[in-house]
Structure formats: C-alpha cells, structure tokens
Amino acid sequence: ECLCHRFIEPLPFAIIMMDLNVQIAIVYIFSFVLNNASSMDTNPSTAINMLIFCVIWQFLRESSVILNGRLRHYFASAYNWLDICQIICIILTILMNYGNHISIMVDNQTDRAILIFSTFLAWIELLFVLHNFSFNLSVFVVATINAFKRLITFGITTLLFVAMFAHMFYIAGPDDPEICTIDNAIYANYTEEELTSAGKFACS
C-alpha cells in the first residue's frame, strides 16, 4: 500500500511517465528513422535534436540517482549499467551525425554496428521501463534476468571445459600438422597403427 501510494504521487509518477515517453521516442528514432547508417552523413535533423533532448534527460536522471544514493549500490544494478550503455550509444550516434566536425567514426560498418547495438539496447530498455507499469511483466523481466545470470555461469563453465579439452588434444596431437592433411604423400605408406601413434587420432 505504501509503494502504491508512493507511485501515484505527482513527482514520482511524472518522472516515470517522462522515462516512458523518452524511451518510446528513442525506440522510434533508432528503429524507424536512423535505420540506414549512410543517412548519418546529412546535417542534423529533428530526430537528432530529439536524441539530444533524450540523452540530456537520461543523463540528469542518472546523475540524480547517483547523488541521492550510494555509488557502489548504483553500479551493482544491471538496470543502471543498461542506462549507461544506452547513454553512450546515443552520444556516439549524435557524434556520428556531426562527423564533419567531430571525426571519430570513419568506417561505415562501425557506424552501422553502433546503430544495430543501439536499437537492441533501446528495445531492451523499453521493456525494463514498461515493467514498472505491469506486475506480470515485471515478474517475467526479473525471471529473464535471473535466467541469464545462471546462463552466464553455465557459459563460463562450458568455455573452461572446451578450452581444457582443446589444449589436451593439442598437446596429445601430432608434432607434424601435415599428418592431418588428406592424401598427404609423406604418410601414404603408414599403417593405421603408425598414424595413430604419430598423433593422427587428434585430427578432427
């Protein structure tokens, strides 16, 4: 009841609604306006001006959160890291538009990669903003985050096992890599036992 009362207070509710509107604007700009990296060579447009407003709002929002809380608690939250990444991506997109004045992006493939990653972040951030308005959605979002945390541990363990077996086979493998070459004339007269003892069993 206390949280519900707090939620409908004018200032907190206005901030949450502003976050929602700003995020919808960011998603719209990245998904439907800046969908072609080559268009970033033009002069500043209305969309870029909107991005400037959005990044200013998000920067002020994150600054107020940092000032009103503890720094270590702020950086311990995955939500805050997502906000920081989005702010960086928006700033890079704005700088790409002012490429004639601030030259940091010279490769069109790099520009396109930044736009792709920024679009992905924008939609994920919108999901996190929307979960403030729906309990069922918030349960799904929290469950997804917890699942990804478990998957990260599983992924690290899998990589360690793959690296372990890769080094074992590399050490046990042939001294001459040419033994793995199909129809190699040098080893044409070798028997299967001789090829195995020479380390061909590790060729795969």
The per-residue pLDDT for range 39-70, each reduced to its tens digit, is: 444 444 688 889 999 999 999 988 988 888 78
CA distance 144 to 5: 28
pLDDT tens sequence across 153-178: 889 999 999 999 888 877 765 555 55
Mean pLDDT of the chain: 75
pTM to 2 decimal places: 0.64
Residue with tokens 């929290």: 142
Average pLDDT of span 115-134:
87
Q: Residue 49: which residues within 8 A CB-CB, separation 6 or more?
A: none
Q: What is the pLDDT of residues 4-36, one digit of tens each?
A: 555 556 777 788 888 889 999 999 888 888 765
